[in-house]
Amino acid sequence: MRPVESFPLLPAGPLLVRAQEALSPSSWLLLRDFLSLPNLTAVEKASVAELIGTGRWEEIEERFGTTLSFGTGGIRSRTIARFPTAAERGGADRDDPPRFPAVGSGMLNERTVRRTSLGFGEYLRTASPGHPISVVIAYDTRLFSALFAEICAETFQSLGFVVWLFSEERPTPELSFAIRKLSADAGVMVTASHNPPWDNGLKIYLSDGGQITAEAAEEVSRSIGKISLAAAIPEGPPPGILRRLGADCDQAYFEAIESTILESTAVGKASRAIKVVYTPLHGVGLHTVPRLLARQGISCSLVAGQDTPDGRFPGVASPNPEDPRSLAQAIDQARTERADLVLGTDPDADRLGAAVYAPAVGWRVLTGNQIAALLAFYRCDRIFSPGGKVRIPGTPVLLKTLVTTDLLRSIAEAFGLRCVETLTGFKYLAAKLRRYEEMAEKDPRSRRFLVFGGEESHGSLSTDRVREKDGNAAALQLVEAAGWAADRGMTLLDLLDALYRRFGFFAEELHTLALEGPGGSERRRRLLASFRETPPAGPDGAPPILTEDFGREDHWDADGELLPKEEFLRFSFPPGARLAVRCSGTEPKIKFYLFHRSEAEEDLRAQEGRTQAMISSWWRTLETDVGLRLSR
């Protein structure tokens, strides 16, 4: 295989004229500007030459249709192109990933990562002039994550920062913990969470350990916009300091999670009665979940073929715990081993998926809403039970997002907790914790105590020492809850049924519509505007009795604080149905959340089947409606 340097450079003349004619004006301008950069690498030159020479115009449109922009929590894009060039492959075998990230202003690669890091670094320097700045960096097992983490570290060092870099892959929630523990000014997590293997990204965190706020994100975006794609790190020894994080940080993080254990007897019961099968889905949970469980005397069986760090995620139908297929192989192994509980975390281990066995129904994959309900109830029951041993240092609160099951609200109300709802995204729950911390600093009597925070997309949190959803902690807490249930002769499914009988039968379903590529953003905007102007029908065809527009109306949470504006609509229908429609903040998608609540019947399995059929029929009607709206 010939070396990269031997690939021909970009031809001039007719091919460039052909490119200008074939591409959209905006893509041509970005491509032209890119080609004028003074420090193009051999891989970049050879890749563009191949793409133009072979007429890969759609591929060029995707790579150069935009300059990678900073979103609400960071940047995320493809780092493996749909059609990798020979230069990007760098001699890799057919079945192996490319040796170099995808070239392009809209791709995540060395150039765009460096530009983003420089822009974020300048934002930090401007926000704290004269203040020594420290940044924590972590990365997951995705392709090029380690490379991008090193680029971030080198960039921040060149700015004179103290850089704390994890020595190997670690979870996103451990990054959040480390920021708070080290009193750092910021953090960067290299991950695309549960996205497909060809994606990667940078998540940005501030000094409280929470994701960057919307206001700060706008300032960071402006700062990045001032940095040229040609920007490079100065040669010579960097003025900053690099420090490595390892076992000491792991130990402190584990102890923070273990502080959330409510009943050691329940954990002890789980160690004797609950057999666990766990899959890290080739992600960083491999370094944390088995160790956390082992520290409590709980052994787990790792899923064969999914128990190695591998950013290609081979043998995994989906690296997303929201997708039941992600646990299929783990359930097969659990059947063979006659296990009781299956756990799985996504590549950066901030989300938890689970499946439970019950003799009457077999294996059931739990939804994110069901996991949240089980954890919320267990924690409320143990904390507020007569003779409970947990001291409440403040007013107890339960946090949830507006698109998370209202079963959490019913649980909170039953135990006398304030249930505070936020916009979608764990950054809003973290912002609430930051607000509570500020209130307590001003007046200790106003202190709030987090009992539980959860969202439907398999994220939860039970300690203020981490300001991000934590799949590692959730894994330990769900095993504890399973042990508590087993001590009472129940499985987690039995406990869930008990919740339905007490609070009502809740059912939810999420559907996602991807509108990608050029014009995708405008199509998403028009679709949401269409629903705003002409509301959809409910499951029985009736119009909504209530429409809530979180993008144009003012809405306040249970704390009396005004919610930020978001492109998000919610429709309520009789009896007990609700539909939420919102644009994703991290992906080119529109999401549809369908909810239904009814009084529990004697035969819950039959009720479950009828309700599921009703919601599925409703979605088919909505899907047809969406197609008609998009065709207008």
Span 597-620, mean pLDDT? Answer: 96
Span 564-573, mean pLDDT? Answer: 94
Structure tokens at 462: 């039970």
| pLDDT for residue 12 | 59
Question: Do 381 and 521 fall within a single domain?
Answer: no
Question: Do 546 and 616 fall within a single domain?
Answer: yes
Q: Three-state SS for 583?
A: strand
Span 209-221, mean pLDDT? Answer: 91
Domain that holds residue 154: 4-245
CB 320 within 8 A of CB 346: yes
| pLDDT for residue 347 | 96
Span 418-445, mean pLDDT? Answer: 93
- From the candidates 193, 301, 457, 462, which is the catalytic residue? 193
**Residue 170: closest CA among 244, 113, 102:** 244
Question: Do 475 and 524 fall within a single domain?
Answer: no
Span 386-401, mean pLDDT? Answer: 79
| pLDDT for residue 68 | 86
Work out the angle between the directed axes of helices 471-486 and 368-384 (0-180°, nearest 10). Answer: 60
612 sits in which H/E element: helix 604-631
The band of 525, judged by pLDDT with boundaries at 50, 70 and 90, is: confident
Q: Three-state SS for 572?
A: strand
Domain boundary residue among 193, 212, 245? 245
Strands (E), 18-175: 74-78, 134-139, 162-166
478, pLDDT greater than 50: yes
For the chain, the maximum distance between any two Cα atoms, rounded to a whole number of angstroms, is: 83
Question: Do 351 and 311 fall within a single domain?
Answer: yes
609, pLDDT greater than 80: yes
- The yes-or-no answer on residue 193 being catalytic is yes
| pLDDT for residue 147 | 98
The band of 66, judged by pLDDT with boundaries at 50, 70 and 90, is: confident
428, pLDDT greater than 80: yes
Question: Do 408 and 351 fall within a single domain?
Answer: yes
Q: What separation in angstroms does the CA of 183 have from each of 62, 179, 422, 541, 587?
A: 40, 6, 26, 55, 31
Question: Do 287 and 219 fall within a single domain?
Answer: no
The band of 155, judged by pLDDT with boundaries at 50, 70 and 90, is: very high
Q: Can you tell me which residue has the tokens 């995705």? A: 142
Q: Note the residue count of the chain.
A: 632
| pLDDT for residue 71 | 73
Question: Do 238 and 254 fall within a single domain?
Answer: no
Alpha-carbon Rg for the chain in angstroms: 25
CB 326 within 8 A of CB 318: yes
Question: Do 495 and 516 fall within a single domain?
Answer: no
Domain boundary residue among 461, 487, 503? 503
pLDDT 10s digits, 91-133: 999 889 999 999 999 999 999 999 999 999 999 999 998 899 9
Work out the angle between the directed axes of helices 471-486 and 492-503 (0-180°, nearest 10). Answer: 90
Domain boundary residue among 245, 265, 282? 245
Chain centre distance of CA 477:
20
Lowest mean pLDDT among 262-266, 375-379, 442-446: 442-446
Strands (E), 157-299: 162-166, 186-190, 199-206, 241-245, 276-279
Question: Do 539 and 392 fall within a single domain?
Answer: no
Span 475-481, mean pLDDT? Answer: 98
Euclidean distance between the first and final Cα of the chain, in Å? 51
pLDDT 10s digits, 70-100: 876 789 999 999 999 999 999 999 889 999 9
Question: Do 498 and 508 fall within a single domain?
Answer: no
CB 232 within 8 A of CB 111: no
Please name the amino acid found at residue 501: R
Question: Do 379 and 298 fall within a single domain?
Answer: yes
Question: Do 408 and 492 fall within a single domain?
Answer: yes
The band of 391, judged by pLDDT with boundaries at 50, 70 and 90, is: low
Q: How many domains does the chain have?
A: 3
Percentage of the chain exceeding pLDDT 70: 96
CB 141 within 8 A of CB 310: yes
Which residues face 244 on adjacent strands?
165
- Report the CATH number at residue 338: 3.40.120.10
CB 491 within 8 A of CB 485: yes
Alpha-helical regions (H) of 338-425: 368-384, 407-414
pLDDT 10s digits, 573-597: 999 999 999 987 666 789 999 999 9
- Report the CATH number at residue 522: 3.30.310.50
